């Protein structure tokens, strides 16, 4: 586990914390409208970002991962071919988001 900030971590052993761990895997490997239902499983998952980064970095072709279908992931990979590490990109984005959030908290309370 890598600490990013107070109370926020990038979880390297994310599979143990994934909400879908308790779900029938076949639920996530579906086609058509069923994919939208599968994406709902990811909605409240605490490791959704880690899962998505792993799927993008490893070019996982099938199933819903991190709340995205294979088609959505392929489109994202085509739009951003310069990204060599989705984990690094998303980890950095999370840090920036948390920094901005903590700055605005200080502004509101100060």
Rounded Cα distance, 39 and 66, in Å: 8
Q: Is 93 annotated as a binding residue?
A: no
Q: Is 42 annotated as a binding residue?
A: yes
User: What residues form DSSP beta bridges with 9?
Assistant: 3
Q: Is 32 annotated as a binding residue?
A: no
Give the N- to C-terminal CA distance of the chain in Å, as an integer. Answer: 33
Q: Is 45 annotated as a binding residue?
A: yes
Handedness of CA 8, 102, 93, 72 (dihedral sign): positive
Task: Please state the residue numbers annotated as binding site.
Answer: 20, 42, 45, 51
Task: Please state the residue numbers annotated as binding site for [4Fe-4S] cluster.
Answer: 20, 42, 45, 51
């Amino acid at each position: 586990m890598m600490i990013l900030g107070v109370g926020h971590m990038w979880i390297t052993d994310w599979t143990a914390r994934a909400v879908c761990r308790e779900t029938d895997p076949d639920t996530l490997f579906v086609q058509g409208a069923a994919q939208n239902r599968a994406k709902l499983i990811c909605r409240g998952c605490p490791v959704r970002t880690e899962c998505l980064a792993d799927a993008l970095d490893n070019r996982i072709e099938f199933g819903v991962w991190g709340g995205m279908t294979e088609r959505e992931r392929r489109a994202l990979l085509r739009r951003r071919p310069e990204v060599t590490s989705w984990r690094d990109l998303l980890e950095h984005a999370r840090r920036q988001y948390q920094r901005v959030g903590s700055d605005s908290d200080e502004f509101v309370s100060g």
